[in-house]
Structure 1
Amino acid sequence: MEQAVMMALVSYSSSEDDEGETTEPPGRFLPPLPPPTTVLRMFQDREDDEGLDDRTKHGGRIRSFTHERGNWATYVYIPFQPQDEFLDLVDELLSVAAEHGVFLTKMSEFHISQSQTVVLRHHWINPFIESLKDKLHCMYRFLCIADRIKVYTNQEKTRTFLGLEVSVGSEHLLEVVSEVDQSLKEFNLQTFYEEPSFHMSLAWCVGDKAGKLEGSCLVELQKVIDRFEDSDILTRFNAEEIRCKAGNKTFCIPLL
């Protein structure tokens, strides 16, 4: 297709000279027409795609699935907007982890997952969002408290996460997951874990570092949380909306 487009451009540029319809003075050089922007973007997109799985551009992270054009990584979650003091708490936790030889990177945003990351085709996105809205629009806001430090690894054991497990609100989160799962099933997508540990990831690192973070290190980390000023306030929030992120698009579903 790309070759056909370029051939068409060449044909269009030379046809004016063949038919003698150019307005340029005789003997003056007629520069070729520049390729349309759409053609330039077509080749630029190809270059961008080649770098999408480059681990050096993602902090060494490894994709759970290969990127393909038209496939959008999608997940459903409840957002958490941290106070400045909460970020100070996370910094203290990272300092303790570093003392045990584990150097973590703070998450750029905080949330509680309500689905696994799945792959949606581009034309499925809007129908999927409409399905979520249909199932979640009657749900009410609820309280969440995430105050129990815990270590997690992804299924491939290529990344380790330090998170806060939910101690209050799990029953409501299960209700949300149940509805989200119904939408996922409609599109033949993988549902959430059978026995989920609802949590908010705070920081991550490459590799399986669970062994270094658990045990005495985990005890010290929990003490940091328990002793931190106003930690009981900083680790609680109201779940007021459900969000779905598909690629670079974010959709919000407010709760009542």
Structure 2
Amino acid sequence: MFPDPDGAQHTDDTTRHGGRMRSFPHQRGNWATYVYVPLQPQEEFLEMLDAVLEAARRKGLRMTKMEKFHISQSQTVILRHHWIDLFVQSLREGLSAMPRFLCVADRVKVYTNQEKTRTFLGLAVTVGHQQLLEVVSQVDKSLQEFNLETFFQNPSFHVSLAWCVGDCAGLIQGATLTQLQNVVDEFEDSEILTRFYAEEICCKSGNKTFTIPLR
């Protein structure tokens, strides 16, 4: 679908990024692209996250903290370089009139990627789900204009907190999951720390990030 006139491919070195593997090979002129709601957590949120990860470590699971936090509004898709501005323009036309909204992400859940090569610990959204679906609907329309894959059906919107290599979801179930949830619930001011306002939508394509403010 995206022919590369140069035919150049890049050999991925997993040692450079913690053992993670790309879902698709890097090719010149193809830009990995995804849309998301960015989050800027309070300092105390990071303290709460450290407490959750320490509880996980005591259960034998070592996870790497996410460097940035967001709620995904698309899968990662591939755009040709000369389509990026047109795609972002389409997003702006569909999203810029949408109002800002509140999200609450306070339910600990475990996720794996489609290839089962990475496991994520996240906080599932319990308030703001309908508004996020409306954002996804607009994003999907832009993706369809470029014949790109749309978002998952019945998505579980969440904030990824930390990750590890491999499929470790089975290790974070039952009593372990309950204990991690208790850490969040019992943390001082957790009700405030898990509240976020979606004020803008971002599109990251390669090393470029485009921001679309909500009204």
Which band: TM-score by shorter chain?
Answer: over 0.9
Instruction: Verify: 1:103 aligned to 2:62, yes or no.
Output: yes
SS where residue 146 of structure 1 aligns? strand
SS where residue 188 of structure 2 aligns? coil
SS where residue 34 of structure 2 aligns? strand
Q: Which residue of 2 aligns with 1:121?
A: 80
- The letter of the residue matching 1:174 is L
SS where residue 208 of structure 1 aligns? coil
Mapped partners of 2:213, 2:92: distance in 1: 9
Instruction: State the Cα distance separating 1:88 from its structure 2 match.
Output: 0.5
Q: Which residue of 2 aligns with 1:65?
A: 24
Q: TM-score, normalised by structure 2?
A: 0.95
Instruction: Verify: 1:178 aligned to 2:137, yes or no.
Output: yes
Mapped partners of 2:145, 2:95: distance in 1: 15
Is the 2:10–2:26 contact (alpha carbons within 8 Å) kept by the matching residues of 1? no
Instruction: Verify: 1:75 aligned to 2:34, yes or no.
Output: yes
SS where residue 202 of structure 1 aligns? strand
- The letter of the residue matching 2:142 is S
Q: Which residue of 2 aligns with 1:191?
A: 150
Quote the RMSD (CA, aligned, Å). Answer: 1.0
Q: Which residue of 2 aligns with 1:27?
A: none
Aligned pairs for 1:37-76 (under 5 A) are 50=10, 53-76=12-35
SS where residue 145 of structure 1 aligns? strand
Aligned pairs for 1:148-163 (under 5 A) are 148-163=107-122
Instruction: State the Cα distance separating 1:214 from its structure 2 match.
Output: 1.3
Q: Which runs of 5+ in 1 are unaligned?
A: 1-45
Aligned pairs for 1:224-235 (under 5 A) are 224-235=183-194
**Residue 140 of structure 1, aligned match among 85, 99, 122:** 99
Q: Which runs of 5+ in 2 are unaligned?
A: 1-7
- The letter of the residue matching 1:203 is A
SS where residue 153 of structure 2 aligns? coil
Distance 1:176 1:50, change over 3 A: closer
Instruction: State the Cα distance separating 1:50 from its structure 2 match.
Output: 4.5
Q: Which residue of 2 aligns with 1:238?
A: 197
Mapped partners of 2:106, 2:177: distance in 1: 13
Instruction: State the Cα distance separating 1:237 from its structure 2 match.
Output: 1.2
Mapped partners of 1:135, 1:50: distance in 2: 35
Mapped partners of 1:167, 1:244: distance in 2: 24
Q: Which residue of 2 aligns with 1:25?
A: none
SS where residue 38 of structure 2 aligns? strand
Q: TM-score, normalised by structure 1?
A: 0.80
- The letter of the residue matching 1:248 is N
The structure with the larger Rg is 1
Aligned residues: 208
More helix by share: 1
Moved over 3 A (4+): none
